[in-house]
Structure 1
Amino acid sequence: MKIQTKIILTSTLWLFILLVLTNSSIYFVFNKTMKDNAIKRLDTEISNVLEGIKQADRSTVNYNSLLRSYLPPNGMIRILPPNGNPILIVVKGNTNLQHLPYSYEAGEQINVEGIDHHLYAVGHIPIIWTNNEIVSLEVTEPLTDVEHSLRILKIILVVASLVILIPTVIGGRILSQVILRPIKTLIQTMEEIQNSKTFKKIRRDRSSKDELDQMANTFNNMMDLLEENYKKQEQFVSDASHELKTPLTVVESYANMLKRWGMKRPDILEEAIEAIHSEAIRMKQLTEQMLLLAKGDTQWEIKIEQVNIAAICHETSKYLQQAFQREISIHVNTDHPLIMADEKKIKQLLYILIDNAIKYSEKSIDISISRSGNFLFIAITDYGIGIPKEELERVYERFFRVDKARNRESGGSGLGLPIAKKIIAAHHGEIKIESEEGKGTTVTLKLPISFSDNSKIPLIDS
């Protein structure tokens, strides 16, 4: 069943139940009020009849005439003995009343009775008749006006219910169309996306500021995010394919060379093995870097512990100095170079930045460690080729290289800085690059002293 049908049926059903309960209550109250008024009226008339009988001279009175004078309009008075037929029947107007069933009542009572689909007010009261016998004085009055009023009330309530129900059904249909229009648009848009294999958003002519408008807005934001991630994925796959194509081509070329001359020429054999080994290592490193970048932030395993940044800088610099025979100077400007961080990730971060500084400069490298407030600052400065200002914003893009000088021979794969930025973000820090072309580059890391409220070390100003 469609939602629109459910909305119409549910709203109509509840309104119908409400109308039935309300109309029944109105009819019940009106019916009871009218009958109570008829009983009170008949009780007054019976009292008048009794008063007339008491004042009359029983020896000379004509009860037929006396009772007729007190007879209600279109009513009837009967004198009923305990057994047998009525002693006296006085009828005014409607002679069919005398054929109504009767019964002797010993006590006083007044009721409204339904006889042959008509309402009658019937009252009984015991009196002493002329023969000193106790009889029942019955006064009967047809409630024609009450029946007429109740019929009119029924018609009014039914017509009023229809007048309310019909517009409600129409209004419910219109309202359901208004409510479901954004949902139908969403379904249509999703079907178009499925058929066309493209990203599309819901058209929003105006903002209604309701939940359905929020749904459309959320869907459009989701489409933007999916499209952006899809483009990034396409770009990443394209860049990765491009980066892997060269080492694979080299490996294939040297493999073919080995098949042709490798066994006959030792020099070619050695050169081919060295080239294949070098490119295999490069592909392994490139693959590891790409897998690292492909992981979401929630997949990073961060082991927080107290880390001595000065000690890590000395250790990392020592290995790189030996590997590249370059001078690396470390300046520690604080007595407390301690932070809460992941030691392995910080080592990887420093290795990336120092390695970049070595690759893109031929002079010494300076590393400065300082502390200000709740943050520790690490500045890595090289005096090399620098980065043009217009390229600074793109250095964090994957596989991006600034110019011809930063090629595969002198530079890396273009994944170092994206990884560095991701490590910094995982530690809630910041990275800033300042560079002047031809003079050098300074990369400044800003790391919080405490990683979380539960892992803090004493804050001591330097």
Structure 2
Amino acid sequence: MKLNTKVNLFSMLLTSVILIGSFTGIYYLYKEFAFSTEAEQLQARANELTTAISALESMDGIDSIFGAYLPTDGAIIVREIDDNTGKPLIRLQKTSEQIDFKLDPAQHYTEKTIHDVPHIALATPIILPNDEIAEAKLIQPLPTITDNMNRLLIILVLMTLVALIPIYLASQLFVQLIVKPVLQLTSTMEKNIQQSSYEQIPTRKQSNDEIAQMATTYNHLMAQLEDAHDKQQQFVGNASHELKTPLTVIESYTKLLKRRGTQDAKITEEALEAILKETTNMKAMIEQMLALAKTNEMTKINMTTFALQPFIDQIVQSIKTAYHREIHVNIPDVDITTDEAKLKQLLFIFIDNARKYSDDVIKIHASVKNDLHISIQDFGVGIPQEDLPNLFHRFYRVDKDRNRKTGGTGIGLSIAKELADRLNAEVSIDSELGKGTTILLIVPLSGGAQHES
């Protein structure tokens, strides 16, 4: 069953139940009100009768008094209270057939249907002129109530049927508001699946309801998928291009060795060195590609508190030992709270880049306020201003020849950007050709990292 059919059926059924329940309540409330009103009027008649009887001095003319207060088409039956014969002292009625029924002592008045006509009866004590105590029962037929109740029932049924028309139209409008965007979303998704596209659905600018939020969320998802697809395509293309060069070199030198053998020691040495170099570069590139893939995973953030000074000293010392470079460090003796492993990898990438592209001293300065500020400054060749916005793109390299000489693959800064995003850190680069480059890293220390698992 389709959603619009379900919505229509449910809305019509629910509305019908509400209308029937409400109108049933109205019907019985009106019935109760009508009987109560008639009972009050009959009680007033009984009170007037009691007053009139008490004013009599003798039994003469008492029938005329009872006749004056006789209910329309009803009856008055007077019995002695202590009489066990069941015979009335006085019976007056305007019908040919005698009417009488037993009263319910727990109720103010008693209702009974006789020949399809509702009757009410109540009793009131009276003192007859001969000082005898009797009970006068007044019985009142209510034929108009039956007619009124029938008319009310017809009106309520008609109102229910008429009300279902606008309710059905309203449910159709409601279905259009709810189902149409869902159908549009489904159609767009099917189209995207069939055409392998990332088409988005139009949204209402002024609306902020759940349907608009669903459309906006879907559009954001499509945008992210399209961006991820584009990055994947770019990554595959760049990786293929980057791996093609070393593989071509290896293939060329292998063919050279195959043609000439190993008789020429100079050519053999040159070929083996080239193959070794390109193999080393390929290994480094593949390792960085795997590292980049890992940073794209939802890795868990492990927040720990540690001393900043020995933490950076350890990183600097490893680079000094490996590359014999001069690095000046100005680090305060404070404790910080962040993900130690990710920050270490991030700093190592930036310091290693400074080491690769400068031969002079490297300066590292840190300060802690609300956030951790770390600047890494080198005095190398610098970077052109037009290249700065593209530095974090995968496989982007300012000078490909220079990068090949330094062993760069163009992936390191992409990994650094992913790590910085995990830590919710900000990275900015300031550089000038011939004067060097300064990288500023701002890491939040108050729970700013993305806690993902």
- Does 1:320 find its partner at 2:323? yes
Closer, same or farther in 2 for the Cα pair 1:179/1:300, shift >3 Å?
closer
> Aligned equivalents of 1:440 and 1:177: distance in 2?
65
Structure 1 contact 430–447 (Cα < 8 Å) conserved = yes
> Aligned equivalents of 2:243 and 2:23: distance in 1?
82
Q: Give the deviation of 1:176 after TM superposition.
A: 2.5
Closer, same or farther in 2 for the Cα pair 1:245/1:38, shift >3 Å?
same
Aligned pairs for 1:89-100 within 5 A: 90-92=92-94, 94-95=95-96, 98=97, 100=99
Q: Which residue of 2 aligns with 1:460?
A: none
Q: Which residue of 2 aligns with 1:245?
A: 244
Specify the SS of the correspondent of 2:202.
coil
| Alignment RMSD (CA, Å) | 4.2
Closer, same or farther in 2 for the Cα pair 1:376/1:117, shift >3 Å?
same
Structure 1 contact 105–124 (Cα < 8 Å) conserved = no
Q: Give the deviation of 1:189 after TM superposition.
A: 1.1
Specify the SS of the correspondent of 2:121.
strand
Counterpart residue identity of residue 39, structure 2:
I
Aligned pairs for 1:399-438 within 5 A: 399-403=395-399, 405-406=401-402, 408-409=404-405, 412-423=408-419, 428=425, 430-436=427-433
Encode CA deviations 1:425-454: one digit per residue, 9 max, x unaligned: 556353413122xx2432334455x85679
Q: Give the deviation of 1:143 after TM superposition.
A: 0.8
Structure 1 contact 39–121 (Cα < 8 Å) conserved = yes
Closer, same or farther in 2 for the Cα pair 1:401/1:339, shift >3 Å?
farther
Aligned pairs for 1:46-445 within 5 A: 46=46, 51=52, 55=56, 58=59, 68-77=67-76, 90-92=92-94, 94-95=95-96, 98=97, 100=99, 110-123=109-122, 139-262=138-261, 267-295=266-294, 296=296, 298-299=298-299, 305-306=306-307, 307-309=310-312, 312-313=315-316, 315-321=318-324, 328-332=325-329, 334=330, 336=332, 341-342=340-341, 343=344, 345-357=346-358, 364-372=359-367, 374=369, 375-382=373-380, 384=381, 386-403=382-399, 405-406=401-402, 408-409=404-405, 412-423=408-419, 428=425, 430-436=427-433, 439-445=434-440
Structure 2 contact 73–141 (Cα < 8 Å) conserved = yes
Specify the SS of the correspondent of 2:379.
strand
TM-score for both structures, normalised by structure 2 = 0.77
Counterpart residue identity of residue 396, structure 2:
F
> Aligned equivalents of 1:11 and 1:150: distance in 2?
29
Q: Give the deviation of 1:34 after TM superposition.
A: 2.2
> Aligned equivalents of 1:11 and 1:278: distance in 2?
74
Q: Give the deviation of 1:233 after TM superposition.
A: 0.7
Encode CA deviations 1:259-283: one digit per residue, 9 max, x unaligned: 4443655555444433333222211
- What is the aligned residue count? 431
Closer, same or farther in 2 for the Cα pair 1:348/1:369, shift >3 Å?
closer
The structure having more radius of gyration, on CA atoms, is 1
Structure 1: where are the runs of 5+ without partners?
Answer: 322-327, 358-363, 455-462
More moved, 158-167 vs 241-250: 158-167
Q: Give the deviation of 1:42 after TM superposition.
A: 3.2
Q: Give the deviation of 1:367 after TM superposition.
A: 1.3
> Aligned equivalents of 2:107 and 2:414: distance in 1?
104
Encode CA deviations 1:153-198: one digit per residue, 9 max, x unaligned: 3233333333434322321221232133222221111111111111
Q: Give the deviation of 1:285 after TM superposition.
A: 0.6
> Aligned equivalents of 1:188 and 1:447: distance in 2?
45
> Aligned equivalents of 2:437 and 2:48: distance in 1?
118
> Aligned equivalents of 1:61 and 1:451: distance in 2?
108
> Aligned equivalents of 2:105 and 2:326: distance in 1?
126
> Aligned equivalents of 2:420 and 2:256: distance in 1?
45
Specify the SS of the correspondent of 1:299.
coil
Structure 1 contact 108–126 (Cα < 8 Å) conserved = no
> Aligned equivalents of 2:348 and 2:38: distance in 1?
102
Structure 2 contact 346–416 (Cα < 8 Å) conserved = no
TM-score for both structures, normalised by structure 1 = 0.76
Q: Which residue of 2 aligns with 1:25?
A: 25
Counterpart residue identity of residue 386, structure 2:
E
Q: Give the deviation of 1:234 after TM superposition.
A: 0.3
Structure 2 contact 103–122 (Cα < 8 Å) conserved = no
Q: Give the deviation of 1:248 after TM superposition.
A: 1.8
> Aligned equivalents of 1:401 and 1:186: distance in 2?
41
Specify the SS of the correspondent of 1:398.
coil
Structure 1 contact 349–423 (Cα < 8 Å) conserved = no
Counterpart residue identity of residue 309, structure 1:
I
> Aligned equivalents of 1:351 and 1:108: distance in 2?
100
> Aligned equivalents of 1:420 and 1:62: distance in 2?
115
More moved, 216-225 vs 421-430: 421-430
Encode CA deviations 1:130-167: one digit per residue, 9 max, x unaligned: xx999986543321222223223323333333343432
Q: Give the deviation of 1:202 after TM superposition.
A: 0.6
Q: Give the deviation of 1:404 after TM superposition.
A: 6.2
> Aligned equivalents of 1:163 and 1:314: distance in 2?
88
